[in-house]
Each structure stands twice: as C-alpha cells, then as structure tokens.
Amino acid sequence: DGGITQSPKYLFRKEGQNVTLSCEQNLNHDAMYWYRQDPGQGLRLIYYSQIVNDFQKGDIAEGYSVSREKKESFPLTVTSAQKNPTAFYLCASSRVSTGGMYEQYFGPGTRLTVT
Amino acid sequence: QKEVEQNSGPLSVPEGAIASLNCTYSDRGSQSFFWYRQYSGKSPELIMSIYSNGDKEDGRFTAQLNKASQYVSLLIRDSQPSDSATYLCASTDSNYQLIWGAGTKLIIKP
C-alpha cells in the first residue's frame, strides 16, 4: 500500500530535550511538508521540501530543523529553542508541477507533549 | 496577509439534509482549492479539489468555485452521522503553498 507513515503516534518529552519526528512516504512524491496544528486552529507550515537536499522555511520555522537526504524521508527535529512545542504534528507529501499545485496527502500525525 | 476564512461553527444539520460549508479567500492569484475532512484526533483527508469556476461533483459531495467573488463552497447531500467532522478549506498562494482556513465543525444530528 502506498502512503505516508509517521512515528511515533504519541511522544512525550521533558522540556529542554530535542526530539525528532519521523516521516516516510512511498508515493514517489517529490514534495514533502511539515505542519503544526494546535487545538481549534488551522494548519501552520513549519518547513517544506520540493527536492532532495533542499528545503525552505515555512511560516513558523523557528525552533525546528529538517533534513531531506532521501526522497522518501523528511524528519523534523523539535529543538529546545521551540517555546511551545506541545502540538499535533502532521507530515504531508505531494507531486510537484511547474504549472500548479497538486493535492497534498497527510500521514496519521504525531502528537507531541512536552512537560 | 493572505487569508482563508471559514465560519468555525458548529454547523448542525439533520441527517439526510444538505450541509453547506463556505469559505472565502483573499488572494486573487489563488489557482487551486481543496476541501479536507478531519475527524477528531485524526489527520486531514482530502475529499475534493477544484481548479475552475463552477461546480464539481463527486458522489454526495459538490464543490463550487466562484473566483470573481473569491468564494468556494462544499455541499454534502444526504448527510450522514459519519460526515460529522471538521472541514478544512485551503487555497494555493503564488508559491504554490497552501493557505489553510481554521475549519468548520459539522455536526449531523440523527
């Protein structure tokens, strides 16, 4: 089955610790995205990547880092510099077109709680 | 600032009726529009995409786009309790990134 996997589903960390969230896709999509969702709010873009070894900051990149060493993988590190890291993190992927936007498909998400 | 606006709801609709969800966007350059359904605690699931003015139908779902009025809507016919969810509207910006609305919570009452 083609799809996007995220692990773990739930993650608990102490304040001051860095944590890495995994995202893998086997859809052969070029573009991958990380979003954050807080209760009652829409999705906010953290980072995105349209090609291997390249990525761009989204609207709320401070305190986060990413890498894109393989087409299939786009891990997100939440660093201790992120002031309010507790949230629902969503990874998505899409095809890329020069003429427009293809649909984004989401993984199941990782719910991070930092205390 | 480019925005997508949705009424947060909740929108309560009797089972079997038509649910109408609305969304407005501020960026006249937006080319693509998407409706996602999100159940509580789950990730968003794409249900409709629309790129041209007019209506697009898929089963019980119809998306409507009016670029002149910067308005996109989603109609759900024969609403079922399983349609109860939050519906997210999104449009593309000039960099082909998605701008998201905060979502409308829909409740279908049996």
Counted across chains A and B, CB pairs separated by less than 8 A come out at 45
Contacts of B90 (CB under 8 A, 6+ apart): B4, B33, B34, B35, B36, B98, B99, B100, B101
Residue A89 and residue A22 in contact, taking contact as beta carbons nearer than 8 Å: no
CB–CB contact B46 A100 (8 Å): no
- Check residue A54 and give its pLDDT: 95
Smallest CA–CA distance, residue A57 to chain B, in Å, is 12
Interface residues on A facing B, Cβ-Cβ cutoff 8 A: 40-45, 48, 58, 90, 100-101, 103-109
Task: Judge residue B93's burial from the number of C-beta atoms within 10 Å of its C-beta, 0-12 exposed, 13-18 middle, 19 or more buried.
Answer: middle
Assess whether pLDDT exceeds 70 at residue A101.
Answer: no
Assess whether pLDDT exceeds 80 at residue B1.
Answer: no
- Check residue A100 and give its pLDDT: 62
> For the segment B70-104, what is each residue's pLDDT rounded down to a tens digit?
999 999 999 999 999 999 999 988 777 889 999 99
Smallest CA–CA distance, residue B105 to chain A, in Å, is 10
> For the segment A22-69, what is each residue's pLDDT rounded down to a tens digit?
999 999 999 999 999 998 888 999 999 999 999 999 999 999 999 999
Assess whether pLDDT exceeds 80 at residue A85.
Answer: yes
Assess whether pLDDT exceeds 80 at residue A98.
Answer: no
> Hey, of A9, A37, A43, which one would you mutate to test binding to chain B, going by the most B CBs within 10 A of its CB?
A43
**Other C-beta atoms lying within 10 Å of the C-beta of residue B110:** 7
Mean residue pLDDT across chain A: 92
Q: Does B42 touch chain A if contact means CB atoms closer than 8 Å? A: yes
Assess whether pLDDT exceeds 90 at residue A96.
Answer: no
Give the residue carrying structure tokens 């199941």. Answer: A108
Query: Rounded CA gap, A87 and A36, in Å?
Result: 7
> For the segment B44-53, what is each residue's pLDDT rounded down to a tens digit?
999 999 999 9
